[in-house]
Every structure is written in structure tokens, then in C-alpha cells.
């Protein structure tokens, strides 16, 4: 469970998040939504431990997240940011294998190799496993990065706009893989994901956190947050949520 208390975050002296308090229960998919500049990515970077708070505190299962050493944190949360590493000549299997680093510290064993093989399978990368990452398309690279986060096998997974380079087919497959991760009957994970595609949030998220101007606009179960008035107010434009052939979609009002 993540508990955020009075969080204030500054970047280059400019306040980005203001007095944010929020509790995210364990399990399920939490979508972070909001207009550009709302502070979603900054919040995710803070939750990943990459930015320290100017004030307030973030607790992960009761522990101060920013007091944890990187090694301990890496066993508890995986992070996929918008800036992705480009290492020429590294194969897809090797890249995904880096996800196992917190577990093996440079000496991979059979368990690690099996976890990598499973991640490659889940994200449809088996046929590309020996290809250099630099030779892949943007979408394939994105899936490689998500597979790396999957292989890290942490109880919490943070993803910042993971669908940005994906076509509709792979975007749906990735979201379904995230749902499977979140609702795995044996080892369910908490997935926190920044989404710009409100349709994806409406369809797949269990909870939604809406942010605007660095503050919390609304948070709660998807149905409670993704209402016409909340969405319209959040994006300063008319939006409505409607059910089309059994699926929720967001349309211009």
C-alpha cells in the first residue's frame, strides 16, 4: 500500500506537486490521469524514488520510500519511465534480463533465466529475443521495456505512459498483460500507470487518480472518478463517458 502525506515536490526550484495526500491500496490497476503539466510524471518519479520530496512523505507498506536504499527499493517496485535506455547491440533478451538485476546482482541463475523467458512470452517478444534492441520499432522497444519491468517481479509496478508508442493492437495487449499482472491469482501486483488514453483508463483501471495543476482533483474507484462532470472539469473541455458495445469510452460532449 502506498500512503502519500502532504507531499510537495519541486523541480529546479519550481513547485510541481502541492500538498498531495493520497492512499493507494495494494493490488489492481490505478490510472493517473490529467492534462499536460498536471504533475503525473513527477508523482510517478517521486514514487519511484528518483525525486525526493521537498516536504511530506511517501510510505510503501509502512516504510519511508525515500529512506530505502536503491537495492531494497528495486525489490519492491519496478519503474518504466518515458526516457528509455538505448544501448546499441544489446539484445532483447539481455535487456529484459536487466529486470532481474535486483535479484541476482550480476550473477543470473536458472530462476532468473526462467523469469526472463516468461516475460518475453507474455509480451510476445519470443521471436525477437536475440535481435538487438536498436533494430526494433518504437512499439517493440516499448514492449521490451515493459517486459523488463515484468521480469523484475516486484509487488509494485509504476509505468509512465507505456502506451505512447504502441499501435491499438499492442496497446490493448499491453493493457491486458498489465491486468493479468495486477490480478494474478498467485502473485498479484499493484500497477500504477500514467495514461493519456482515457478510453484505456475507463476500460482497464480499477482506480483512477485525477490530477490538475499539481494537486489532487479526484481519486477513487473508476466509476466514481470517471464521471462526465469530473472529466470535463479536469480537461477544461466537454467530455462524457458512455458505454458502447459493453465497453466504456470517453467521447467529446
Partner 1 sequence: MAERRLILLGLALALGCTAFLLWNLRVPMGFILSLRATKLAALVIVGAATGAATVLFQTVAGNRLITPGIVGFDALFVFLQTMLVLTLGGAGYATLPTLPAFLVETACLAGAGVALFGLLLRRGAGDLIRLVLSGLILGVMLRGLSGFAQRLLEPSEFAVVQQASFASFGAVDATQLAIAAPILGLALALAWRLSPRLDLALLGRDKAITLGLDFDRFVLGVLALIAVMVAVSTALVGPVTFLGLLAAALAHALLRQPRHAALLPAAAGLGALILVSGQFLFERLLGFQSTLAVIVEFLGGLVFLALVLRKAAR
Q: Is 50 helix (H, G, I), strand (E, B) or coil?
A: coil
Residue of 41, 42, 140, 152 interacting with partner 1 (CB under 8 A): 152
Q: Candidates 6, 23, 71, 167: give the one binding partner 1 (CB under 8 A).
A: 71
169 binds partner 1 (CB under 8 A): no
- 70 counts as binding partner 1 under rule CB under 8 A: yes
Indicate which single residue of 9, 78, 192, 198 sits in contact with partner 1 (rule: CB under 8 A).
Answer: 78
Instruction: For residue 83, give every residue at least 6 positions away whose Cβ sits within 8 Å of its Cβ, in sequence order, or none.
Output: none
Minimum CB distance to partner 1, residue 124 (Å): 22
Return the bridge partners of 14, or none.
11
**Considering beta carbons, is residue 89 or 169 the nearer one to partner 1?**
89
CA separation for the pair 36, 163 (Å, rounded): 16
Taking a C-beta distance cutoff of 8 angstroms, is the pair 3, 26 a contact?
Answer: no
Q: Positive or negative, the Cα torsion across 76, 79, 85, 90?
A: positive
Query: Judged by CB, which is closer to partner 1: 38, or 78?
Result: 78
Q: Give the per-residue contact string, 36-65, with partner 1 (x = CB under 8 A; - = no).
A: ---------x--xxx---------------
DSSP string spanning 183-223?
Answer: T-SSS--EEEEE-S-HHHHHHH-SEEEEEETTEEEEEEEHH
Nearest residue (CB) to partner 1, 92 versus 218: 92
- From 99-107, 112-120, 167-175, 217-225, give the range in contact with partner 1 by CB under 8 A: 99-107
- Cβ distance to partner 1 smaller for residue 40 or 73: 73
Window 104-143: contact mask with partner 1 (x via CB under 8 A): -xxx------------------------------------
For residues 90 and 249, which CB has a smaller minimum distance to partner 1 in the complex? 90
Q: Is 237 in the site for partner 1 (CB under 8 A)?
A: no
Q: Which is nearer to partner 1, 70 or 252 (CB)?
A: 70
| Rounded CA separation 225/209 (Å) | 8
Stretch that binds partner 1, among 54-62, 95-103, 183-191, 227-235 (CB under 8 A): 95-103
Q: Which of 131, 135, 134, 197 is nearest to 162 (CA)?
A: 197
Distance CA(122)–CA(143), nearest Å, equals 10
Q: What stretches of the chain show up as alpha helix (H) in DSSP?
A: 40-47, 70-74, 92-97, 101-104, 110-122, 138-151, 168-182, 198-204, 222-225, 228-235
Residues that bind partner 1 (CB under 8 A): 45, 48-50, 69-71, 73-75, 77-79, 81, 83-85, 87-90, 98-99, 101-102, 105-107, 152
Amino acid at each position: 500500500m502506498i500512503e502519500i502525506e502532504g507531499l510537495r515536490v519541486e523541480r529546479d526550484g519550481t513547485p510541481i506537486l502541492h500538498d498531495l495526500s493520497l492512499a493507494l491500496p495494494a493490488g489492481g490497476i490505478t490510472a493517473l490521469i490529467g492534462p499536460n503539466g498536471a504533475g503525473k510524471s513527477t508523482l510517478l518519479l517521486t514514487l519511484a524514488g528518483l525525486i525526493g520530496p521537498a516536504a511530506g512523505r511517501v510510505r510503501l507498506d509502512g516504510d519511508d520510500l525515500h529512506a530505502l536504499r536503491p537495492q531494497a527499493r528495486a525489490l519492491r517496485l519496478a519503474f518504466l519511465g518515458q526516457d528509455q535506455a538505448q544501448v546499441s547491440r544489446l539484445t532483447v533478451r539481455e535487456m529484459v534480463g536487466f529486470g532481474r538485476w535486483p535479484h541476482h546482482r550480476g550473477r543470473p541463475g536458472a530462476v532468473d533465466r526462467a523469469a526472463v523467458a516468461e516475460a518475453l512470452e507474455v509480451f510476445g517478444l519470443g521471436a525477437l529475443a536475440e535481435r538487438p534492441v536498436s533494430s526494433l520499432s518504437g512499439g517493440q522497444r516499448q514492449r521490451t521495456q515493459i517486459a523488463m519491468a515484468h521480469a523484475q517481479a516486484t509487488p509494485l509496478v509504476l509505468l509512465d505512459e507505456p502506451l505512447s508508442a504502441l499501435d491499438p493492437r499492442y496497446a490493448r495487449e499491453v493493457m491486458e498483460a498489465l491486468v493479468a499482472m495486477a490480478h494474478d491469482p498467485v502473485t498479484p501486483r499493484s500497477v500504477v500507470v500514467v495514461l493519456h488514453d482515457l478510453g484505456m483508463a475507463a476500460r482497464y483501471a480499477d482506480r483512477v487518480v485525477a490530477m490538475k495543476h499539481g494537486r489532487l482533483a479526484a481519486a477513487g474507484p473508476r466509476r466514481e472518478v470517471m464521471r462526465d462532470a469530473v472529466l470535463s472539469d479536469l480537461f477544461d473541455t466537454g467530455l462524457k463517458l458512455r458505454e458502447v458495445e459493453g465497453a466504456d469510452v470517453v467521447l467529446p460532449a
